[in-house]
Chains A and B, each alone.
Chain A
Amino acid sequence: MNDHWSAEREAAATPVRGIEFTGSWREYLPIALSNALLTVVTLGVYRYWAAARQRRYLWSRTIVIDDPLEWTGTGKEMFIGFLVVMAVLLPFFLFFQFAFPAMVARGKAGAAGGIFTLFYIGIIYLGGLARFRALRYRLSRTWWHGIRGGSDEPGWNYGGEYLGRIALSAMTMWVMFPWAAVRLWNGRWNQMSFGSLPFVATLTTEGLKRRWAAIYLIPLAMLVVGGIVAAIGAASLLGSNRPLTVALIIGSIVVVFYLAIPLATLHWYAKYYRRAADSLSLGGLEFGFDATTWGWLKLFLGNLALAVVTLGFGLTYWGYRNWSFMVRHLHIYGEIHIDQTHQSTTSAPGEAEGFADAFDLGAL
């Protein structure tokens, strides 16, 4: 009987990983080309069907333990989801397009600002809802061994939790953001399940505080060092060359804000995702993720270079590259009792990823 399957036992016999990506860019090329063609000639409308086709390929080339994943989401449902969300967002759009300038033109900038703030709060709430729903949707359309994932929660509460935690960390100049991030990660994943198995996330800020502090301290240290160097330079070498001194100061500020802070943030996120995956389990399965800061950087720079070298066509490979990056760095350990793993009883959501799509939240 083949009803009990142990990943560990299999791994001992044949050293395969728990999850593996077997796709190739050549095999994906016809999909990329036809998706690009159809998206152009439909003025962008086809992109939902293009996304569905891309995922069907990527999922089918992702082997989990002994069998590939299967994506069953359709372009049509994503398109409808998009239309639904547009209807929800229409009041926001109309406000910014008409009411806001009209109020400012009448000299009622204060009232306009107040309503603007309220709408902004609403948009943050919807942003949290979007993250939850995108995850729920993706799990509900992901099948393995004939069963799928999902969630019984619609995400309304999560949206509120998201708004509250983001607001609190904003009030502390984002110093408390790691605490917000780990609780939101747990809040999201602890509502998710695959088949009859619930996901369990137990992420803490352990190991995440030092790198977060670095985001504040590195630019500060660089400014101090830069200031000392500039002062010494101004006193000796440069003398009265004031434009050069000013250029140096402006240059170092640019470096700090456009290089040091994003890199320090990436450094934190790299650790965050490793810790987040470590904290996650599904029944007897545990997860791991080993992408380093340098790995992420290579992915982003590679994506950019690919798009530039191919005059934009490379954009069609971003989804492919991002997915294969995630899968290559993901690990699955432990064992799953497939005879005790039953079909999901969660209701499959209908509106797809409309909200996440509207707020431009990517797969990463």
Chain B
Amino acid sequence: MQATFYDGVTAIRHEADVRVADDRLDLAWGVGEEDSIASDLLLRLDGPRESLRVGRSDRPGWRLIFPASAASVLGPLLPAEARYGRWVDRLGLWRAAAAFGLVAALVLFIGHVAPEWIAPHVPQRWESDLGQTLVGDFGKNRCAGGAGNQALRKLAERIAPGVTQPGERHIQFTALDFGIFNAAALPGAQIILFKGLLLETHDSDAVAGVLAHEVAHVRRRHVTQALIREFGIGSLIRLFAGGIGANTEQLVSLSYTRANEAQADADAIVMLRAAHIDPRPTARLFAKLAKQTGERDGDATGYGQFLQSHPVSLERAKKFAASFRAGNSYRAVLSRGEANDLLNICWNGRGVPPSVYAPYRLTTGTRDSRHPQEWRDSLGTVLENIG
């Protein structure tokens, strides 16, 4: 058999005469040069279909290149071709794809549910340490208004009695001097609210609703879950995946977070009811948010909602509004003076207070003479107008 031969030492191209003898390959080239190679040193290389490329495991660059027809003679001497990678070659493409697919599904499933299993068993102490490391005392961004912080503590005690007392169930509430319309639960039983939230809502009952939602996240250890998810499956997938895994991760983590959010909303409604706080201001807050984000009523179902990490604001507004009971006696969470203090929590006490609390609604449910159904209808009209 004739073959093209490279010895891996120089770039010279030889035409070699090759013979198969037992489990050896004898070749002769040039002027009387010969070699005999044991078949267990031979490699079958992945290459163009019209030729058969043979290498040697002990000599890089050593190549014998035959026409493809030589495979029938040389086949028995050569190991299987390395094509996809060792595992896939061994299993075959389809079986390997199925096996990998199964493992991938398992990894995604565990990544999806494991945070929920693990989170309750993470010592609170670890999380607190991590929280301290991450955020510290917020430095000069922390709003230090004394009366405002007192009002904030009072509000927290109303929605979750005992929450400001030292112990296992302690949560640290901090207002931050940023004009962001948001509040968040952080690792280590910390809840932060931004000045923007106070100034935008102008309503301490709505702030109570938002904070009750965050307290639920802390109590249910959703923060711990989120951390585990982020640094477990999240970082793993981001590490390897270009586009494919990132989308998978988004679907998994978002649908998951949505379950947490819905649970936190449900808990918040229970907390508000137990504390005799009117849920409608919170409903209005979400309705306002829906208006700001240009959300329409129709978005509340289907794909749009599925890809959002928080439930659509209109849906949340409706849930809070529906929890209102006309017969209940609701009490404002803070007095007018306290609400004013909370509003000015980021004011340093010099000069004129930047804002004055101006409630635009009645704070007790009993004074609202309308029937609950009627009230809900009117809210429905508001929501439709927003849409």
Interface residue? B302 (CB, 8 A): no
Nearest residue (CB) in A for B96 is A38
Residue interface mask A63-99, B partner, CB < 8 A = 1: 0001110101001100000000010000000000010
Q: Chain A: interface secondary structure?
A: mixed
Complex interface: stretch among B236-244, B274-282, B337-345 = B236-244
Specify which chain A residues have a CB less than 8 angstroms from the CB of B97 in the assembled complex: 37-38, 41
Contact B138 A106 (CB under 8 A): yes
Specify which chain A residues have a CB less than 8 angstroms from the CB of B11 in the assembled complex: 144-147, 195, 336, 338-339, 341-342
A312 to B243, CA, bound (A): 10
Contact A105 B88 (CB under 8 A): no
Query: How many A-B pairs with Cβ below 8 Å?
Result: 134
Knowing A66-B13, A145-B13, say if A38 contacts B135 (CB, 8 Å).
no
Interface residue? A331 (CB, 8 A): no
With most chain A CB atoms within 10 A of its CB, the pick from B100, B101, B107 is B100
Knowing A37-B97, A341-B10, say if A53 contacts B241 (CB, 8 Å).
no
A56 to B133, CA, bound (A): 49
A106 to B96, CA, bound (A): 51
Residue interface mask B10-40, A partner, CB < 8 A = 1: 1111110000000000000000000000000
B4 → A minimal CB distance (Å)? 8
| B interface residues, tally (CB under 8 Å) | 50
Nearest residue (CB) in A for B237 is A43
Specify which chain A residues have a CB less than 8 angstroms from the CB of B48 in the assembled complex: 60-61, 68
Interface residue? A42 (CB, 8 A): yes
B86 → A minimal CB distance (Å)? 8
Interface residue? A169 (CB, 8 A): no
Specify which chain A residues have a CB less than 8 angstroms from the CB of B107 in the assembled complex: 43
Interface residue? B9 (CB, 8 A): yes
Interface residue? B262 (CB, 8 A): no
Interface residue? B361 (CB, 8 A): no
Contact A343 B9 (CB under 8 A): yes
Which 10 pairs of residues, A with B, have the shortest CB-CB distance?
Answer: A107-B139, A146-B6, A44-B240, A44-B241, A145-B11, A338-B11, A41-B101, A341-B11, A49-B85, A146-B61
**A-B contact list, 23 entries, CB within 8 Å:** A2-B12, A34-B84, A37-B97, A38-B96, A46-B85, A46-B100, A47-B240, A49-B84, A53-B46, A56-B46, A61-B48, A66-B13, A105-B139, A106-B137, A106-B139, A107-B140, A145-B13, A146-B7, A146-B8, A146-B9, A146-B10, A315-B243, A341-B10
- Which residues on A are within 8 Å of B, measured CB to CB? 2-3, 5, 34, 37-47, 49, 52-53, 56, 60-61, 66-68, 70, 72, 75-76, 86, 98, 101-102, 105-108, 143-148, 195, 312, 315, 336, 338-339, 341-343
- Which residues on B are within 8 Å of A, measured CB to CB? 6-15, 45-48, 53, 60-63, 83-86, 88, 93, 96-97, 100-101, 104, 107-108, 133-141, 237, 239-245, 248
